């Protein structure tokens, strides 16, 4: 298992190098110079030249790229052009907010999505199923930022129950978390429903029923445990997407999160912050994917046994007996 995780972490390295190359070249080749944005119109040509020199912007592309890489490997993501603070510190200041919001929203998504998905599958084609499927497909079709705006109109403007922006008290969390959470609840619900339907049709469900087990227990103990893998995948995917992709929702609710930070940085061509921020997100997303894969092994013994290193593996009984039976 540890070997597997190690191998996966190694495989992340080329991907991350690619991410850096991608973002780096996009920032490099884009028109406009950072010094124009950052120093403003008042700056003299000498000031601008000094800025370029200071940040190594006059070096050739590859030199700049490798300089960045070497620093990044040492944990130094550079300093932000605008605040002169280390990029890492800037990210770390914003990341907890984004992360908390994602955890909150994922919690909502799991509670709503998994429960409605299971009920829908068990009562396939019932009115409940039809209604919740319809709501779920509307849910994935709404732009999150629009849903956020509509919730603001309803709960902040009309009902005056909740604040519409900022992030200081728990009441500020409710609208953004609901906005992002319901959106991904719809995907979770659709996935839960279809994988539960698949699981319910399996023969082992009949075996469990034939033992005299209650239907509700059969659903939980036998069907749901087998249906979790695709559901976990989609939850992991949604969680990763929330860390990076809720940028627009952060703007709608004026939340000082990572996405908001990066978008503003892109607008002023604050390259170190953009590169650092996107690289950071990519690493976090890959780690989440890895975590989900490790969780698979926890849920499914068939996957677990693939990870067991060859030495520790009990002499493969399946292959042995298959050979014996001449399969």
Partner 1 sequence: MAENEKPKAVLARKSQLKDIIHRFMKNKAAVLGFVIIIVLVICALFPAQIAGPDYTEQNLRNRYQPSSSEHILGTDELGRDMFTRIVWGSRTSLTIGLASIMLACSLGVTIGLIAGYYGKTVDNILMRIIDVLMAVPNVLLGISIVAALGNSTRVLVLAIGLGSMPAFARVTRSAVIMVREMEYIEAARATGASDGRIMWKYILPNSLAPIIVQVSMGLATSILTISGLSFIGLGVPAPTPEWGSMLSSGRAVIRDYPHIILYPGIAIMLSVFAFNLFGDGLRDALDPRLKT
Partner 2 sequence: MSDNILDIRNLTIHYVTDKETVRAVNGINLTLKQGESLGLVGETGAGKTTTALGILRLVPNPPGKIVAGEIFYKGEDLLKKSESDMRKIRGHEISMIFQDPMTALNPVLTVGEQISEAILLHQNITPQEALQKSMDMMELVGIEGIRHSEYPHQFSGGMKQRIVIAIALACDPALLLADEPTTALDVTIQAQVIDLIENLKKKLGTSLILITHDLGVVAEVCDRVAIIYGGQIVEFAEIAMIYNNPKHPYTIGLFGSIPNFSVKAKRLKPIYGLMPDPANLPEGCTFAERCPLATDACRQGDIPNIEIEPGHWVKCIHLGV
Binding site for partner 1 (CB under 8 A): 14-16, 18-19, 22-23, 26-27, 29-31, 134, 137-138, 140-143, 145-146, 149-150, 152-153, 157, 193-194, 197-198, 240-241, 243-245, 247-248, 251-252, 259, 262-263, 266-267, 269, 274, 278, 281-282, 285-286
Between residues 89 and 320, which has the closer beta carbon with respect to partner 2? 320
Query: Cα angle vertex 125, ends 121, 129, to 5°?
Result: 60
Task: Please state whether 31 falls in left (phi above 0), alpha (psi between -120 and 50) or beta.
Answer: beta
- Long-range contacts made by residues 27-31, C-beta under 8 angstroms, separation at least 24? 27/269, 27/271, 27/274, 27/275, 28/61, 28/64, 28/65, 28/271, 30/269
Q: Which of 122, 250, 242 is nearest to 187 (CA)?
A: 242
- Please state the closest distance from residue 322 (CB atom) to partner 2, in A: 6
Residues 83-122 that bind partner 2 (CB under 8 A): none
Q: Tokens 């996009």, residue? A: 26
- What backbone phi and psi angles, to 5 degrees, belong to 84? 65, 15
- Closest distance between partner 2 and the C-beta of residue 235, in Å? 18
Binding partner of residue 30 among partner 2, partner 1, none, CB under 5 to 8 Å per kind?
A: partner 1
Q: Which one of partner 1, partner 2, none interacts with residue 326, CB within 5 to 8 A by kind? A: partner 2
Shortest CB 225 distance to partner 2, Å: 5
State the binding partner of 111 from partner 2, partner 1, none, CB within 5 to 8 A by kind: none
Nearer Cβ to partner 2, position 156 or 233? 233
What span, in angstroms and rounded, lies between the C-alpha atoms of 98 and 256? 8
The residue (of 232 and 282) whose beta carbon lies closer to partner 1 is 282
- Contact present, 261 and 277 (Cβ < 8 Å): yes
Residues in region 20-79 near partner 2 by CB under 8 A? none
Three-state secondary-structure class, residue 94 = helix
Contact positions toward partner 2, by CB under 8 A? 202-204, 206-214, 221-222, 225-226, 299-302, 305, 314, 317-318, 321-322, 324-327
């Amino acid at each position: 298992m540890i070997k597997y995780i190690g191998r996966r972490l190694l495989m992340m390295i080329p991907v991350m190098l690619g991410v850096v190359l991608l973002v780096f070249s996009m920032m490099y080749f884009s028109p406009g110079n950072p010094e124009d944005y950052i120093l403003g119109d008042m700056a003299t040509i000498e000031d601008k030249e000094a800025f370029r020199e200071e940040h190594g912007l006059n070096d050739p592309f590859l030199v700049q790229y490798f300089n960045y890489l070497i620093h990044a490997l040492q944990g130094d993501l550079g300093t932000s052009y605008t605040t002169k603070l280390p990029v890492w510190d800037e990210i770390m200041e914003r990341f907890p907010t984004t992360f908390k919001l994602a955890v909150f929203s994922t919690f909502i998504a799991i509670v709503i999505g998994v429960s409605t998905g299971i009920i829908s599958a068990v009562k396939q084609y019932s009115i409940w199923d039809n209604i919740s499927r319809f709501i779920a497909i509307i849910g994935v079709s709404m732009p999150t930022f629009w849903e956020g705006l509509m919730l603001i109109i309803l709960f902040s403007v009309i009902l005056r129950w909740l604040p519409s922006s900022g992030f200081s008290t728990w009441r500020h969390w409710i609208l953004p978390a609901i906005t992002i959470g319901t959106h991904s609840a719809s995907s979770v619900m659709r996935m839960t429903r279809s994988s539960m339907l698949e699981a319910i049709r399996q023969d082992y469900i009949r075996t469990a029923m034939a033992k005299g087990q209650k239907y509700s227990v059969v659903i939980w103990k036998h069907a749901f445990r087998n249906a979790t893998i695709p559901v976990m995948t989609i939850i992991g995917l949604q969680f990763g997407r929330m860390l990076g992709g809720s940028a627009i929702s952060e703007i709608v609710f004026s939340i000082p999160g990572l996405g908001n930070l990066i978008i503003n940085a892109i607008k002023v061509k604050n390259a170190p912050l953009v590169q650092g921020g996107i690289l950071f997100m990519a690493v976090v997303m890959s780690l989440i994917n890895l975590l989900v894969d490790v969780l698979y092994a926890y849920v499914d013994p068939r996957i677990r046994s693939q990870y067991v290193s060859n030495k520790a593996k009990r002499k493969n009984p399946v292959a042995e007996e298959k050979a014996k039976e001449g399969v």
